[in-house]
Amino acid sequence: MFQPHADRIAKPLLAAAALVCAAVLVLIIAVIISGAWPALISQDLVVFITDASWYPLEGQFGMLSMLLASLLVMMIAILLAAPMGIICAIFIAYIAPVRVQKIYRFAIALLAGMPSVVLGLWGLTVLVPLVNKWSPPGLSLLLAGIVLAVMILPTVALTSLAAFKSLPIALQQAASALGVRQHVQILKVFIPAASAAILSGMLLAMARALGETMVVLMVAGNVVQFPSGLMEPVRTLTANIALEMAYATDQHRAALFVSGLLLTAMVLVMMSFAARIKGHNDYG
Amino acid sequence: MKLTLSFICLMCLSGLTQADNRLNLTGSSTVAPVVMEIAKRFESVNPGVRVDVQTGGSTRGVVDSRTGMADIGMVSRALKTNESDLTAHTIARDGVSIIVHGSNDIMELSEAEIIAIYIGKITNWSEVGGEDRRITVVNKADGRATLELFLAHFSLKNSQIKAQAVIGDNQQGIKTVSGNPGAIGYVSIGAAEYEQSVGTSIKLLPMNGVAANMQTLANGEFPISRPLNLVTKSLTPLSQQFIEFAQSPAVADLIKAQYFVPASR
């Protein structure tokens, strides 16, 4: 008798709370669209792709090079972080003694909490001068990818670890009972079984890398160009917004909102993929 | 009911007096931060006065003061000839200095050399008498006031510049140059002078033989500089009071804190 009554009160309260969460997203997207509106109605939309480069004060709004730079930096980061993160998770889940497990877990959690501006500062003051010695200016696509890899490594490691930990114990028991050796168990049983959850963790990490601003702003060099090599400076969409928004007016400002819209769309697509994969996972 | 009515009347009255003691400023995002600080101090020494500061660029400062949308406009350049209906009150000067890494043995660059470096015609320090090292050109992001001043002085367009690094604020520019022996950049003189004084490895290059420092900027000798102006179409007593306050020694510390030099008068 009491329980249904409590439910009646709790239901609308919870629904209202959930509505607020959802409304925030809608509100943010509405604000971005309204900010981008002046550019969306007054420009032919293809100019954002076809203009040769980005000189907003001279009427050039080409974003393709920055879009490519964003994607390249993200790909480098995940290519470096994924193997390391997954290996890290395997070590903690199956190989390390309990004590070492705890220390490693703590260290990864600590790295996850590292403010990205600190990582960026480390990149700018330590890595850039180092790379600069053999390939000036040092500020580059590759370096941005490396520092971002450090940033998203804990995300990959922790989500992979959670994926391994959530595998049913029966899986390991069955494999052991069949006399399968440990490294074969890991490669042929655990990794395939956890792969969907690992992949969705990787997508989360990629979305984070795509949206990251401070690190790339500090180490990527921010030159708008199609990079001809890994050591060339690039500007990502996020860095572009951070660099110019404070001083932008009129069409320039609206064009920055357009790039914000583009970024939001890309991150939402990735997040929905992550959610879909996770939904299909048998064990996750 | 009576109480409510009188309360509403009171609100109206206070609203009226508020309107009389309210000052609106709009314009340049370079001038706005320092004016906000000045406004805070102005409010604290004149209780009851409200100063509202909004940014939007020098052009907005001109337009708003002309149409009366703002009592005072903020403009980070000298007024143009077609803006002679407005009066400019200079509160400070801002200057831009070319900086290189502290270990660079270049002592001076001519204007032609600086242009050649920035448009990518000269790419090695040995071509201007330095050691054999690739030049890293550091440019500013679109919309920054220092970029406008630099481009205007050298008659360049931003799309002509071939940069290897683009930065936002002065601090980032100084960090980028001090971390790269081959770098050349340009930043606000005050910020560069301060960083140099605390041991950051940068060197301020003279322009046309004039050393880059706060003295040459203050006495108007340094070539790459501009006035930071408050502009008005007509002066109300309150705006006059505010402008006089902004030009007085009482706010010199606030102006210096933003790396500008107070206008000499």
Which residues of chain A lie closer than 8 angstroms to B56, CB-CB?
Answer: 249
B-chain residues within 8 Å CB-CB of A215? none
pLDDT digits (tens, 9 = 90+) for A26-82: 999 999 999 998 888 887 777 787 788 888 888 888 889 999 999 999 999 999 999
Q: Which residues of A touch B143 (CB under 8 A)?
A: 56-57, 244, 246-249, 252
User: Using the beta-carbon criterion (under 8 Å), do A217 and B143 form an inter-chain contact?
Assistant: no
User: Residue A5 belongs to what H/E stretch?
Assistant: helix A2-42
Indicate the residue of A56, A222, A246 with minimum beta-carbon distance to B167: A222
pLDDT, greater one: B200 or B29: B200
More confident residue, B166 or A44: B166
Looking at the partner chain, which of B59, B159, B180 has a beta carbon nearest the beta carbon of A136? Answer: B180
Q: Whose CA is closest to A71, among A236, A230, A253?
A: A236
Q: What is each CA distance from A58 to A51, A53, B106, B154, B158, in whole angstroms?
A: 11, 10, 33, 17, 8
Residues on chain B touching A235 (C-beta within 8 angstroms): 166
- Give the pLDDT of residue B13: 44
Domain A47-278 has CATH 1.10.3720.10: yes
Cβ of B164 within 8 Å of Cβ of A136? The answer is: yes
Q: What is the pLDDT of residues B8-44, one digit of tens each?
A: 444 444 444 445 689 999 988 788 889 999 999 999 9
pLDDT digits (tens, 9 = 90+) for B210-250: 999 888 888 888 999 888 999 999 888 999 999 999 999 99
Q: Where does the pLDDT of residue B77 fall: very low under 50, low under 70, confident under 90, or very high at 90 and above?
A: confident
Taking only the tens place, the pLDDT of each residue in B116-161 is 999 999 999 999 988 898 899 999 888 777 888 899 899 999 889 9
For residues B163-188, one letter each, b for 16 or more C-beta atoms within 10 angstroms of the residue's C-beta and e for the rest, the string is bbbbbbbbebbbbbbbbbbbbbbbbb
d(CA B222, CA B97): 9
8 Å CB contact of B165 and A124: no
- Cβ–Cβ below 8 Å for A124 and B175: yes
Q: Which residue in B26, B162, B176 has the most chain A C-beta atoms within 10 A of its own C-beta, making it the best mutation to test that interface?
A: B176
CA distance A140 to chain B (A): 9
CB contact under 8 A, B159 and A55: yes
What average pLDDT is seen over chain A?
Answer: 88
Phi-psi region of B178 (alpha: psi -120 to 50; beta: other; left: phi over 0): alpha
* Length of chain B (residues): 265
Residues of A in contact with B168 (CB under 8 A): 217, 242-243
For the ranges B113-117, B191-195, B238-242, the lowest mean pLDDT is seen at: B191-195
Q: What are the residues whose beta carbons fall under 8 Å from the beta carbon of B222, sequence distance 6 or more?
A: B95, B189, B207, B210, B212, B213, B216
Domains along the sequence of chain B with CATH: 2-93+227-262 (3.40.190.10), 94-218 (3.40.190.10)
- From the list A57, A217, A242, which residue is nearest B142 (CB)? A57
pLDDT of residue B10: 46
- CA dist B136 and B124 (Å) reads 9
> pTM for the whole thing?
0.79
User: In this model, does residue A1 exceed pLDDT 70?
Assistant: no
Instruction: Return the residue in B55, B146, B166 with the most chain A beta carbons within 10 A, the one to mutate for interface testing.
Output: B166
Q: Which residues of A touch B145 (CB under 8 A)?
A: 247
Residue B99 bridge partners (DSSP): B185, B204
Nearest to A249 among B56, B133, B176 (CB): B56
Task: Give the residue from chain A lying closest to B159, CA to CA.
Answer: A55
Residue A112 burial by Cβ neighbours in a 10 Å radius (0-12, 13-18, 19+): middle
Query: In the predicted model, what is the mean pLDDT of residues A265-280?
Result: 82
- Kindly report the length of chain A: 284
ipTM, 2 dp: 0.76
Give the confidence band of A281 by pLDDT, cuts at 50, 70, 90. low
Give the per-residue pLDDT at A162: 94
CB pairs under 8 A between A and B: 88
pLDDT at B264 over 70: no
Mutate to test the interface with A, among B54, B64, B101, B159 (most CBs of A within 10 A): B159
- pLDDT, one tens digit per residue, over A244-261 is 887 777 788 888 999 999
Give yes or no for residue B79 having a pLDDT over 60.
Answer: yes
Long-range CB contacts (< 8 A, 24+ apart) of B144-148? B144/A247, B144/B168, B145/A247, B145/B28, B145/B29, B145/B30, B145/B76, B145/B94, B146/B96, B146/B170, B146/B186, B146/B187, B146/B188
What is the average pLDDT across B98-106?
92
Do A244 and B142 lie within an 8 Å CB cutoff? yes
Q: Which of A29, A33, A50, A53 is nearest to A258 (CA)?
A: A33
Cβ distance of B159 and A235 shorter than 8 Å: no
| pLDDT score, position B144 | 77
Whether A21 shows a pLDDT value over 70: the answer reads yes
- Name the β-bridge partners of A217: none
Which chain A residues are within 8 Å of B184, Cβ to Cβ?
Answer: none
What gap in Å lies between CA A21 and CA A6, rounded to an integer? Answer: 23
Cα–Cα separations (whole angstroms), residue A96 to A175, A181, B172:
19, 16, 43
Which pLDDT score, from 0 to 100, does residue B19 have?
52
With the C-alpha atoms ordered A6, A11, A12, A15, is the resulting torsion angle positive or negative? positive
Q: Is the backbone peptide bond immediately before A137 cis, with ω within 30 degrees of 0?
A: yes
Residue A7 predicted with pLDDT over 50: yes
Confidence of residue B81 (pLDDT cuts 50, 70, 90): confident
Nearest CA-CA distance, residue B24 and chain A, Å? 20
